[in-house]
Amino acid sequence: MTFSASAAPAPAMPPLAELHLHIEGTLEPELIFALAERNGIELPYADLDELRARYEFSDLQSFLDLYYANMSVLQTEADFADMTRAYLRRAAAAGVRHAEIMMDPQAHVDRGVPLATAVNGVASALAASEAEFGISTGLIAAFLRDLSEESALIVLEELLAMDAPIIGIGLDSAEVGNPPSKFIRLYDRAREAGLRLIAHAGEEGPASYVTDALDLLKVERIDHGIRCMEDTALVARLAEEQVPLTVCPLSNVRLGAVDTLADHPLPAMLDAGLNVCVNSDDPAYFGGHVDDNFAGLKAVFGFGTDVLETLAGNSIRSSFITAERRDVLLAELDAWVRAQG
Ligand code: HPA
Ligand code: ZN
């Protein structure tokens, strides 16, 4: 009797789409130092340990301060491309098969980096992503909600004029005090230009920001949205309309939106029938990529194959990919489920 070699074990991660990812939040400390050296930039940290010691956050703003400061090392197209490729390589190992990636154009323009440098650098890496890493991609321009709507409109017009390869717009940065109502004209203009619409809402801000993002900005997806759980009527609406919520559990813990992973509302959101998926947000800052988020959730909540299938399926169905690509990824997910036995 002969035995054939046993098949490789089924991968722990289902194939999925990552829909909530800030490319600038993938900048790892090692790359920050490497780019600083390449560009002759003096960092305010003596070494990696001193930089890593700053990754303790009390709230969203304390993270944003470091996130914006570290961007100073991004100067050339090659810098943006190298950062993007490093994310894609790591994401492929995490099971990501499609990624919709936000970048913050205003954060670069405002410190003197030309818009084309930032956009072309990221876009050049994305253009090669499917061939190089097996990850299809889309680029989303996220606008900083603590800046004026006028500033956002100027940058959006520049992006449109240069025919930047963006599929949509988002809204990020300091949420509280910067409600969706501040950006109605921006979203009207983006919609008129044929762009897809998403926005951060209900991360630190109240549930009413989620409602307003839907009603005033007419967004198709909500980034985070966890504070919707404080409004029963809103939860019922989100469940009824199956509005996608791109949840980022490790981010919520690191920024103090929830105390511990065990306190995260994700299981309650699933129970309420919400269309949730799991994402990494800013993996270099929040303790890991999407596979690390899944590992934490599995450890704390004991999620089995059925929940992982739901979360991965939601991510694929909530993406802005073509129906053809969606069907390919859903078939891969089916195959993954069968391989789990
Ligand atoms: N929230 C808001 N703005 C951001 C984030 C975030 O998690 N990451 C980068 N910009
Ligand atoms: Zn985010």
Q: Judge if the beta carbon of residue 172 lies within 6 A of ligand 1.
A: yes
Pocket test for ligand 1, best of 24, 60, 223 (most atoms within 8 A of CB): 60
Residue with tokens 């690191």: 254
Q: What DSSP line would sit under 63-132, residue for residue?
A: HHHHHHHHGGG--SHHHHHHHHHHHHHHHHHTTEEEEEEEE-HHHHHTTT--HHHHHHHHHHHHHTHHHH
**pLDDT of res. 10:** 72
Catalytic residue among 203, 240, 241, 332, which?
203
Q: How far apart are CA 54 and CA 66, in angstroms?
A: 8
Could you report the per-residue pLDDT of 116-131, keeping only the tens digit for each?
Answer: 999 999 999 999 999 9
Q: Would 317 be classed as within a structural domain?
A: yes
pLDDT tens digits, residue range 9-51? 678 999 999 999 999 999 999 999 999 999 999 999 999 999 9
Residues 6+ apart with CB under 8 A from 257: 203, 204, 224, 226, 251
**CATH number of the domain bearing residue 281:** 3.20.20.140
User: 263 is in which domain, residue-wise?
Assistant: 16-339
CA of 187 to the centre of ligand 1 (A): 19
In a domain, 287, yes or no: yes
Report the C-alpha gap between 2 and 316 in whole angstroms. 41
Task: Tell whether 9 is covered by a domain.
Answer: no
Q: Is residue 240 part of a domain?
A: yes
Instruction: Tell me the pTM.
Output: 0.97
pLDDT at 152: 98
In a domain, residue 10? The reply is no
Note whether residue 212 is domain-resident: yes
Does the CB atom of residue 203 touch ligand 1 within 6 A?
Answer: yes
Token pair belonging to 27: 């900048």
Is the model's pLDDT at 290 over the cut of 70?
A: yes
Taking the CA atoms of residue 19, residue 20, residue 25 and residue 29 in that order, the dihedral angle to the nearest 10 degrees is -70
The CA distance from 338 to 154, in Å, is 50
Please tell me the total count of domains within the chain: 1
Assess whether pLDDT exceeds 90 at residue 4: no
Span 240-289, pLDDT tens digits:
999 999 999 999 999 999 999 999 999 999 999 999 999 999 999 999 99
**In 3D, which of 74, 93, 78 has the Cα closest to residue 18?**
93
Distance 172 CA to ligand 1 centre (A): 5
Note the pLDDT of residue 216.
98
For residue 3, the model assigns a pLDDT of: 45
Read off the pLDDT of each residue in 90-112 and give the average, rounded to a whole number. 98
Six-digit token string for 166? 């963006």
State if residue 281 touches ligand 1 by the CB under 6 angstroms criterion. Answer: yes
Q: What is the pLDDT of residue 341?
A: 82
Backbone angles phi, psi at 261, to 5 degrees: -60, -35
Q: Does residue 269 belong to any structural domain of this protein?
A: yes
What is the maximum span of the chain, computed from C-alpha positions, in angstroms?
Answer: 76
**Residues paired with 99 in a beta bridge:** 18, 137
Asked whether residue 148 is assigned to any structural domain, the reply reads yes
Q: Is the pLDDT of residue 79 over 60?
A: yes
Q: What is residue 7's predicted lDDT score, i.e. its pLDDT?
A: 61
